[in-house]
Chains A and B, each alone.
Chain A
Amino acid sequence: MRNSFVGSPVERREDLRFVRGRGQYVDDLSPDGLLHAVILRSSVAHGRIRSIDATAALKIADVHSVVTARDMPDGPPRIAMRLQPLAEFKPFEQSVIADTKVRYVGEPIAIVLASSIAIGEDALDRIVVDIEPLAAVSDCETSATPDRLLFEEHGTNCAMTFTAECGDADAAFTAAAYTRREKFRIGRHYGLTMEPRGLMAEWDAAAGRLTVSGAAKVPFFNRRILARQMGLPEDAIAMVENDVGGGFGARGEFYPEDFLIPFAARHVGRPVKWIEDRRENLMAMNHARQAEVEVEIACTRDGTIVALRGHAHVDMGAYMRTNGAVGARNIAQFIAGPYRIPNIKLQSSLWMTNKTPVGTYRGPGRFETDFFRERLLDMVAKDLGIDRVELRRRNLIQASDMPYRMPTITPFESRDEVDSGDYRLALDRCLEEFRWADKARLQGKLVDGRYHGLAVGCFIEGGAAGPKETARLEINPDGSVAVFIGSSAVGQGVETVFAQIAADALEIPMDRISGVHHGSTAYVSDGYGAYHSRSVVMGGSALLDAAKNLHDLIRVAASKRFGCAPSEIKISEDSIIGPGKLSARLADFSGLTAEGVFLNKKHTYTYGTHAAHVTVDAKIGHVEIVDYMTVVDCGRIINPMTVRGQVIGSLVQGLGGALLEDLRYDRDGQFLTGSLADYLLPTAGDFPNLRAIVTDMFPSPINPLGAKGAGEGGIISAGGVVANAVANALSTFRVEPHELPLTPQRIWEMVEEGQNRSSHLGASAGEIAPAPHAPHAKAAC
């Protein structure tokens, strides 16, 4: 039987419970004897804790206890970094609870355990915390001044500077015919999940075993950290992944609560559950993105890019969290995106500030650099009088360049290369589907009170982070097969996708795959989870290995039964056939189980092109997306329906970051956006006109599935493309966005500035006047 579930738009298995409200998320668990945890968080951005007095709180009936750093005999442990755990970052790691100092609004100070959340929150109001306030660091600029240190003992707020380098950028700039330098800023966004974080811990004192429900993303890694912090062997801890209401990079990293809740459960000997409320989620889950960059481009007169250089400053918040360095590192690495730029020197400095610490958010560093770079490319096209599409086509990495080496990052010495693809094909397909040529006549035109703008941008998306993934197959008594896998579910549909892959690999009908069991630490020997668009690529490849191993085991077992050599056994669907008329069924080998692994040091690179058509009401700064086309080539497609879902879903998140989302602080580090009425998310009416085409033109050569990551391509280009479309729409006012998000207020201000500039120069809007950021032309160009 030759199946073809892989490649088909199979309806999702998990939907059968989700559409009936039968998903089981961590807050749906409620064991006997449960205590609810609520967390007292700092309301001060920077200060020294003088005292914590919980006497009054403990007098409330049904308040069981209040846990602080003092209850931890060896002091509060620190949280080790998961990715890029460089020695330089050690001093900036976060303790699980504030002890002597608080460094951001939202930092945990105490945990109340009570019979209900409401009573716990009553108790929070009665805990008296005396904090001596210190001057706060609310941005990178202040962070660079020596008189406001977050960690006095370390003498600097700069945790690290990454450098991405290839060729000789300075020499290329000296010799270049044309250069242009710009400054850009990007706001603070985060991977808001609809389900706030939650954990439930149960301590079995007799057995010395801990069970933690609500695990997500990287349960095996988190178990390693937790085991060390709790002084337990790893196998004494079970991490249980329930249904997870969204990930986006933020959910499932090891946060302070991932220690505090298990610790509290052991401390009081009762099950403890903590469910984050939305205000906490906004101020306690990892933030992301916020950065500013000064970046300079050098080109020949025909628009061939010869060099990029610059310096980015990334606002890290108060601590280095588990994956906190990824965004800053990626800003250095991905500044060139899908373009062939022979000389690069980009530095990226990580500045500690008195804000919520940052981590990854879908497309980390790539959303940011695409905004910086694509804005710059449109400016270059304008300066040099080259068509913006032609400029991009001319500079894209070509199919013949593959695999193409990317800049080296120090201090890592990490090297990477893009694996496969023809970037021009995606560009051409996107323009054709978008009908760019027909729409181009609208560029900058005023029609019925709205200005029209078009833009195009290209991206690459990394995926398939190693080093390893594990899968296991087991034959059930009824002859069906269960899949167990180290990849995690964050809503992306892994139960369906892995069932497709397993059914094809075992050549059995999909309904013979009894279930896909993922994430939890009980299922496989080791797992690496869901990040860097890796779940399906890595887990799926491991699953192919497991299927091969299972067939080998069946052959060996059948050969013993039939008295023949394993090579004489044929497996066809449910039939295991030996010489003569000997045969058996899968059910005869019930209990047989085989593990498979996939090891990988390389990354897959999905790529594609976005094109946008916007209209802008210059009077009120409102942007409407009239049409948006995304073409993503992501290697072998397992399920085109879910891949398209990833692209559109991530695109809308990107449009949120481009136009709406912004976590704000005042100069004292006070958090200003503590509700969903302040942090604006896209809603159903905002972006109805989006299209996505997913193609499988170039399978990845680095894994047996041929698959590439597909979770992030939709978000990466959104900021740059929308900003360019707005610039082109408002070219009459010489609007050049340098900052995201493009809120109505910001657009209105840019239009006002443009009009004032024009009237100051005595020219009406639309006439030629010096651009605000004049290019540095070294020769006529």
Chain B
Amino acid sequence: MSVSFEVNGKPVTVDVEPRMTLVDCLRHQLRLTGTHVGCEHGVCGACTILLDGEAVRACLLLAVQAEGCKVVTIEGLSNDEALTPLQASFRRHHAVQCGFCTPGMITTAHALLTEEPDCDADRVREVLSGNICRCTGYISIVEAVLDARGAYRAPEPQP
């Protein structure tokens, strides 16, 4: 069946089986392979994307459920010119090893910092506890997210 939604700012229409998950649709039909599949049962968070601004697991959604929604993947949070402040912070803090969980981590952290740019370390840990990383031990990831908060705060009003 046909489903239409927006991915990273562009409208798409794809023909999918009703049982196809959104993550499989993104990866294999739309060739957006930055979103990863780690468990297919909603525990590991590797497939986290933004659906209408909210961080969700693309393995627990069917593609048809995205009808009319705005989807943003790690590709939509990246550009060719430079790393975003959040990406640069991940690199600076060595919050990446094998890189497999990283797109999900960054997407989750982006959603958190967009909503709560003043969140504290406990809140970061609470939110990231839905994303499993097997390499880093998380300390550097939490540091990276905390260090990127400034980029998400509204600029101080000029006097």
Chain A contact residues, CB within 8 Å of chain B? 9, 11-12, 14-25, 27-28, 30, 118, 192-196, 243-248, 275, 277-278, 490-493, 641-642, 644-645, 648-653, 675-677, 681-688, 690, 714
- Docked-complex contact B87 and A19, CB < 8 angstroms: yes
Minimum C-beta distance from A288 to chain B (A): 14
A278 to B129, CA, bound (A): 19
- Docked-complex contact A25 and B100, CB < 8 angstroms: yes
- Docked-complex contact B92 and A11, CB < 8 angstroms: yes
Given A248-B134, A277-B40, A685-B128, 11 other A-B contacts at CB below 8 A? A20-B83, A20-B87, A27-B37, A192-B134, A194-B134, A246-B135, A491-B97, A648-B140, A676-B39, A676-B132, A688-B121
- Docked-complex contact B136 and A20, CB < 8 angstroms: no
Minimum C-beta distance from B57 to chain A (A): 12
A11 to B93, CA, bound (A): 9
* Chain B neighbourhood of A676, CB < 8 A: 39, 41, 43-44, 132
- Docked-complex contact A652 and B137, CB < 8 angstroms: yes
- Docked-complex contact A491 and B39, CB < 8 angstroms: no
- Docked-complex contact B137 and A648, CB < 8 angstroms: yes
* Chain A neighbourhood of B94, CB < 8 A: 9, 11-12, 641-642, 644-645
- Docked-complex contact A195 and B96, CB < 8 angstroms: no
- Write 26 A-B pairs (CB below 8 A) sorted by A numbering: A11-B92, A15-B99, A19-B78, A20-B75, A20-B83, A27-B33, A192-B134, A193-B100, A196-B38, A247-B98, A277-B40, A278-B39, A491-B100, A645-B97, A645-B135, A645-B136, A648-B136, A649-B137, A652-B136, A653-B137, A676-B39, A676-B43, A676-B44, A683-B138, A684-B141, A685-B129
* Chain A neighbourhood of B28, CB < 8 A: 30
A19-B106, A193-B134, A690-B137 known; A245-B100 Cβ under 8 A: yes
Partner of B33, one of A14, A28, A690: A28
A282 to B133, CA, bound (A): 16
B12 contacts the other chain (CB 8 A) = no
* Chain A neighbourhood of B35, CB < 8 A: 21
- Closest-by-CB residue of B relative to A28 is B33
B126 contacts the other chain (CB 8 A) = yes
Q: Chain B 119-159, CB within 8 Å of chain A: the 1/0 string? A: 00100111011111111111111100000000000000000
A650 to B137, CA, bound (A): 7
A624 to B106, CA, bound (A): 27
Partner of A19, one of B36, B91, B124: B91
- Docked-complex contact A246 and B91, CB < 8 angstroms: no
State the 10 A-B residue pairs at the shortest beta-carbon distance, nearest first.
Answer: A21-B34, A491-B98, A18-B99, A245-B100, A21-B74, A652-B137, A20-B78, A676-B43, A28-B33, A684-B128
For residues 8 through 59 of chain B, which have their beta carbon under 8 Å from a beta carbon of chain A? Answer: 17, 19-20, 27-28, 31, 33-41, 43-44, 46
Interface centre among A15, A491, A676 (most CB of B within 10 A): A15
Partner of B137, one of A11, A18, A687: A687
* Chain A neighbourhood of B126, CB < 8 A: 685
- Docked-complex contact A649 and B41, CB < 8 angstroms: no
A648 to B92, CA, bound (A): 16
A642 to B141, CA, bound (A): 14
A650 to B139, CA, bound (A): 12
Minimum C-beta distance from A316 to chain B (A): 24
- Docked-complex contact B91 and A194, CB < 8 angstroms: no
- Docked-complex contact B134 and A653, CB < 8 angstroms: yes
- Docked-complex contact A681 and B134, CB < 8 angstroms: yes
> What is the size category of the interface that chain B forms with chain A?
35 or more
* Chain A neighbourhood of B37, CB < 8 A: 27, 275
- Docked-complex contact A194 and B90, CB < 8 angstroms: no
A645 to B78, CA, bound (A): 25
- Docked-complex contact B134 and A15, CB < 8 angstroms: no
Partner of B90, one of A19, A192, A277: A19
* Chain B neighbourhood of A25, CB < 8 A: 33, 36, 100
- Docked-complex contact A675 and B39, CB < 8 angstroms: yes
* Chain A neighbourhood of B96, CB < 8 A: 12, 14-15, 18-19
A24 to B31, CA, bound (A): 12
A688 to B94, CA, bound (A): 16
Minimum C-beta distance from B79 to chain A (A): 8
A245 to B140, CA, bound (A): 18
Minimum C-beta distance from B38 to chain A (A): 5
- Docked-complex contact A684 and B34, CB < 8 angstroms: no
* Chain B neighbourhood of A243, CB < 8 A: 98-99
A645 to B124, CA, bound (A): 19
Majority secondary structure, A binding face? loop
Partner of A20, one of B38, B74, B141: B74
* Chain B neighbourhood of A686, CB < 8 A: 129
- Closest-by-CB residue of B relative to A192 is B134
A20-B78, A676-B39 known; A194-B44 Cβ under 8 A: yes
A18 to B136, CA, bound (A): 14
- Docked-complex contact B132 and A493, CB < 8 angstroms: no
A649-B135, A684-B142 known; A18-B36 Cβ under 8 A: no
A194-B46, A649-B97, A683-B129 known; A278-B91 Cβ under 8 A: no
* Chain B neighbourhood of A28, CB < 8 A: 27, 33
- Docked-complex contact B91 and A16, CB < 8 angstroms: yes
- Docked-complex contact A677 and B135, CB < 8 angstroms: no
A248 to B137, CA, bound (A): 14
B63 contacts the other chain (CB 8 A) = no
- Docked-complex contact B131 and A684, CB < 8 angstroms: yes
Minimum C-beta distance from A684 to chain B (A): 4
Minimum C-beta distance from A687 to chain B (A): 7
Minimum C-beta distance from A43 to chain B (A): 19
* Chain B neighbourhood of A17, CB < 8 A: 99
Minimum C-beta distance from A153 to chain B (A): 40
- Docked-complex contact A195 and B38, CB < 8 angstroms: yes
A681 to B138, CA, bound (A): 12
Partner of A648, one of B33, B36, B131, B139: B139
- Docked-complex contact A20 and B98, CB < 8 angstroms: no
A492 to B136, CA, bound (A): 10
* Chain B neighbourhood of A247, CB < 8 A: 98
* Chain A neighbourhood of B46, CB < 8 A: 194
Minimum C-beta distance from B8 to chain A (A): 11
* Chain A neighbourhood of B71, CB < 8 A: none
* Chain A neighbourhood of B78, CB < 8 A: 19-22
- Closest-by-CB residue of A relative to B107 is A21
* Chain B neighbourhood of A644, CB < 8 A: 94
For residues 68 through 118 of chain B, which have their beta carbon under 8 Å from a beta carbon of chain A? Answer: 73-75, 78, 83, 87, 90-92, 94, 96-103, 106
A681 to B38, CA, bound (A): 13
* Chain B neighbourhood of A192, CB < 8 A: 134
Minimum C-beta distance from A88 to chain B (A): 34
- Docked-complex contact A688 and B139, CB < 8 angstroms: yes
A21 to B97, CA, bound (A): 13
Partner of A15, one of B36, B91, B139: B91
A278 to B78, CA, bound (A): 28
Interface centre among B31, B131, B136, B139 (most CB of A within 10 A): B139
A529 to B41, CA, bound (A): 33
A22 to B79, CA, bound (A): 11
Minimum C-beta distance from A263 to chain B (A): 24
- Docked-complex contact B73 and A645, CB < 8 angstroms: no
- Closest-by-CB residue of A relative to B80 is A20
* Chain B neighbourhood of A645, CB < 8 A: 94, 97, 135-136, 140
A278 to B37, CA, bound (A): 9
Interface centre among B33, B94, B102, B132 (most CB of A within 10 A): B94
- Closest-by-CB residue of B relative to A275 is B37
A25 to B140, CA, bound (A): 23
Minimum C-beta distance from B60 to chain A (A): 13
- Docked-complex contact B34 and A20, CB < 8 angstroms: yes
A684 to B126, CA, bound (A): 7
Minimum C-beta distance from A655 to chain B (A): 9
Partner of B43, one of A193, A245, A675: A675
A686 to B136, CA, bound (A): 13
* Chain B neighbourhood of A9, CB < 8 A: 94
A15-B90, A649-B136, A652-B137 known; A278-B98 Cβ under 8 A: no
* Chain A neighbourhood of B133, CB < 8 A: 194, 684
